[in-house]
C-alpha cells in the first residue's frame, strides 16, 4: 500500500520545533568552532539494521532547513525495506549544516522506521488471515501524523485519527450513559452521515445489544480466543469486529485466525524499538 505524504505544514513545523530545542540561540557551537564555513562534504544516511524505512520527509526537510542547496539522492522510499548497511540517501552540501542536521534527521528516521518495522512484523505475522493491523491513539504527543504514517509504511491500516473523526464508545462512556444500547443510540443520534459509530464491549453477551442498536463497528476488548471466535460467528459480517488488548507478536496470529476483521495494537506506536540509522562520511 502506498504511503500517504504528510501535510506539508506539519513537517515544516515539527522539524523547526526540533531544531529550536536542539539549537537554542547559539546554534551548533561545535561545528561552528571546528568546521570551516566553506567546507563541503558528502555523507550517507545508512541503515545499521534491516527493516522498513519511514521518516524520509522530515529527514530531508531537516537537511534542507540547514542547507537549502544540499543535493540529496534518495535510494529508498517511505515504506521500502532495507538491509543492514544499505544507504537511505546520500547528501552533498555544507559540512557544518549537515552535521547540525544529522541528529534531527536521525531522530525522525529512527522513531518512524522503528514503528514501520515493528508494524511490519505484526502484519507479516497475520499474513493470509485477512485481519488488518491498526494503530491506536497511544501516540507520542505532537507527533501523531508522523507515527500513523509510519504505521501505514509498515503495512498497517488506519484507525480513527482522533476524537473528532469517528465515534468510539468506550467502557467509561457505557458506564456513564447507562448501557451499550443507550450509548449507541445517543451516538447515532449525534453522528453525521459521514461518521462511523463503534462501541467497545468486554463481554460476549453485549454483542447482540451492540449490533441491534446499530453500531457499525464493535471493539472486543480483552476477549479470549474462544470468545473472539464466538463473536465472529454471531456477527455474521453485519458489523466490523476489532480485537484489542493483550496483543503482541506472540499472540497476534492466533487472534487473527479467529476471523476477526481488525486488530488494534497500542504497542505499534508506544513501544516500537528504535530503528538504528547513522551518518557516515563518503
Of residues 206 through 235, those in contact with its own copies by CB under 8 A are 217
Q: Which is nearer to its own copies, 130 or 226 (CB)?
A: 130
Active site residue 221: yes
81 forms bridges with which residues in the sheet? 52
CB of 143 to its own copies, least distance (A): 7
Residue given cell 517511505 in the structure block? 78
Stretch in the footprint of its own copies (CB under 8 A) among 39-47, 117-125, 227-235, 245-253: 39-47
How many beta carbons lie within 10 A of that of residue 148, not counting itself? 23
Strand order through the sheet with 87-94: 71-74, 87-94, 40-47, 277-281
What is the DSSP code (8-state) at residue 104?
H
Q: Is the dihedral of CA 29, 30, 31, 37 positive or negative?
A: positive
Q: Is 238 in the site for its own copies (CB under 8 A)?
A: no
Q: Work out which of 82, 168, 201, 235 binds its own copies, going by CB under 8 A.
A: 168
Q: Work out which of 91, 167, 243, 252 binds its own copies, going by CB under 8 A.
A: 167
Q: Work out which of 30, 222, 224, 248 binds its own copies, going by CB under 8 A.
A: 30
Site for its own copies in 111-130 (CB under 8 A): 111, 114
Query: Strands 217-221, 240-244: parallel, antiparallel or unpaired by DSSP?
Result: parallel
Active site residue 77: no
Active site residue 138: yes
CB of 242 to its own copies, least distance (A): 7
Q: Which is nearer to its own copies, 47 or 104 (CB)?
A: 104
Q: What is the DSSP string of 219-259?
A: EEET--HHHHHHHHHHHTTSSEEEEESS--TTTHHHHHTTT
Q: Is 26 in the site for its own copies (CB under 8 A)?
A: yes
Query: Do 217 and 170 meet the contact criterion of CB atoms below 8 Å apart?
Result: no
Q: Is 194 in the site for its own copies (CB under 8 A)?
A: yes
Active site residue 236: no
Amino acid at each position: 500500500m502506498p504511503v500517504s505524504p504528510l501535510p506539508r505544514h506539519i513537517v515544516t513545523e515539527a522539524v523547526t520545533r526540533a531544531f529550536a530545542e536542539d539549537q537554542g540561540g547559539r546554534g551548533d557551537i561545535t561545528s561552528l568552532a571546528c568546521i570551516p564555513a566553506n567546507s563541503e562534504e558528502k555523507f550517507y544516511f545508512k541503515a545499521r539494521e534491516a527493516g522498513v524505512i519511514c521518516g524520509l520527509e522530515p529527514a530531508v526537510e531537516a537537511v534542507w532547513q540547514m542547507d537549502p542547496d544540499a543535493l540529496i539522492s534518495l535510494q529508498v522510499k517511505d515504506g521500502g525495506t532495507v538491509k543492514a548497511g544499505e544507504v537511505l540517501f546520500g547528501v552533498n552540501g555544507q559540512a557544518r549544516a549537515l552535521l547540525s542536521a544529522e541528529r534531527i534527521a536521525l531522530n525522525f528516521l529512527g522513531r518512524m522506521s522503528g514503528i514501520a518495522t515493528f508494524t511490519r512484523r505484526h502484519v507479516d505475522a497475520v499474513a493470509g488471515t485477512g485481519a488488518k493491523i491498526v494503530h491506536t491513539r497511544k501516540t507520542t504527543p505532537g507527533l501523531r501524523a508522523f507515527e500513523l504514517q509510519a504505521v501505514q509504511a509498515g503495512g498497517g491500516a488506519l484507525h480513527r485519527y482522533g476524537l473528532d473523526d469517528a465515534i468510539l464508545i468506550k467502557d467509561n462512556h457505557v458506564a456513564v450513559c447507562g448501557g451499550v444500547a443507550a450509548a449507541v443510540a445517543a451516538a447515532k443520534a449525534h453522528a453525521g452521515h459521514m461518521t462511523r459509530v463503534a462501541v467497545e464491549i468486554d463481554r460476549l453477551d453485549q454483542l447482540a445489544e451492540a449490533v441491534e442498536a446499530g453500531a457499525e463497528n464493535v471493539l472486543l476488548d480483552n476477549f479470549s480466543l474462544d470468545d473472539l471466535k464466538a463473536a465472529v460467528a454471531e456477527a455474521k459480517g453485519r458489523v466490523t469486529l476489532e480485537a484489542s488488548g493483550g496483543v503482541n507478536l506472540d499472540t497476534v496470529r492466533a487472534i487473527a485466525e479467529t476471523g476477526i476483521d481488525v486488530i488494534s495494537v497500542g504497542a505499534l506506536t508506544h513501544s516500537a524499538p528504535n530503528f538504528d540509522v547513522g551518518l557516515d562520511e563518503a
